[in-house]
Amino acid sequence: MRLATIRTATGTRAVRIDGDRAVETGHADVGELLAVADWRATAEAADGPAHDKAGLDYAPVVPRPSKVVCVGLNYANHITEMGRELPQHPTLFAKYPEALIGAYDDVVLPAASEAIDWEAELAVVVGTTVRHADEATAEAAIAGYAVLNDVTARDWQYRTMQWLQGKTFEATTPFGPELVTPDEAGAGLDLSCSVDGDTVQTANTSDLVFGPAAAIAYVSTILTLNPGDVLALGTPGGVGHARKPPRYLTPGAVLTTAIAGLGECRNTCVPEKRA
């Protein structure tokens, strides 16, 4: 099953994607839908107004999750090629909902930064409340997967040892277009990122050190994860900051982030406009 949050003339709506149609579920967004105890059955049975998929205006698949937890340094090949040992524990940082944008919205390049970089990632969305979960329980708690790009202000990220300030600039993080449930998504997904048609990242999610269930189990030891919460599972090699010379996103650049079976985000970079 595929779910999305779309913008309509009367506000956002959660929809089930059926081929070339999007059927409203009766909820304001996918986050609200996931808060329903039997959300799968509710979504499957939905028979609300339908929209042509070709004309959809996608919002972030979960517009306002209570938490966005990100995992850094999580692709084995990328870690080993940098001469580092595989981590024993995930490196975690947070992102806030204001950073999230829809699959085809513009990425706003913050005026305060001169080093905006791309980071293609697999996002996992939680479907049930979990706390102190083992990996089997964590696996069962996965609502689905989506595409995310953790666009990062490198000059702000490395101002201090704490990364958050470079990771959550407003309107920088494409997230969507759809949530794809695990039974349809499968495993070992090919991920890619391109800038103006030039492929800059490729990987397979089977190379993740901490996969979706392991990440959920670990984070749930720290705090409760709720339906609609998002975990971004890290990026592979190929980021612009590591290139010689470094390469960053510029106004007008088109950033495309794709994961096989999940779809793609395609976003034009625009400069921040200050009042």
Q: 208: closest CA among 133, 122, 88?
A: 122
pTM of the predicted model as reported, rounded to 2 decimal places: 0.97
Query: What span, in angstroms and rounded, lies between the C-alpha atoms of 167 and 154?
Result: 8
Residues 6+ apart with CB under 8 A from 244: none
Q: Would you say residue 78 has pLDDT above 90?
A: no
pLDDT for the residue numbered 77:
82
**pLDDT in the model for residue 134:** 98
Instruction: Indicate the burial class of 150 (C-beta count within 10 angstroms; 0-12, 13-18, 19 or more).
Output: buried
71: phi then psi, degrees, rounded to nearest 5: -110, 125
pLDDT by residue (tens digit) across 13-66? 999 999 999 999 999 999 999 999 999 999 999 999 999 999 999 999 999 999
Give the model's pLDDT for residue 274: 81
Q: How far apart are CA 84 and CA 216, in angstroms?
A: 24
* Nearest-angstrom CA–CA distance, 46 and 7: 18
- pLDDT (tens digit, 9 = 90+) per residue, 102-146? 999 999 999 999 999 999 999 999 999 999 999 999 999 999 999
Give how far Cα 157 sits from Cα of 15, 82, 104, 221, Å: 36, 19, 25, 26
Query: What confidence tens digit (pLDDT) does each residue in 202-216 have?
Result: 999 999 999 999 999
Closest CA to 59 of 38, 29, 90, 93: 29
At residue 168, the pLDDT reads 98
Q: Can you list the positions of beta strands (E) in the chain?
A: 2-8, 11-18, 21-24, 50-52, 68-72, 91-95, 100-101, 107-109, 116-117, 120-126, 142-149, 152-153, 173-180, 190-195, 198-204, 230-232, 254-259, 263-271
Peptide bond into 97 cis (omega under 30): no
Domain residue extents for the chain:
1-57, 62-271
pLDDT at 192: 98
In degrees and rounded to multiples of 5, residue 121 shows phi and psi of: -145, 155
Structure-derived torsion over alpha carbons of residues 49, 99, 142, 29, reported in degrees to the nearest 10: -20
Domain 62-271 class, CATH top level: alpha beta
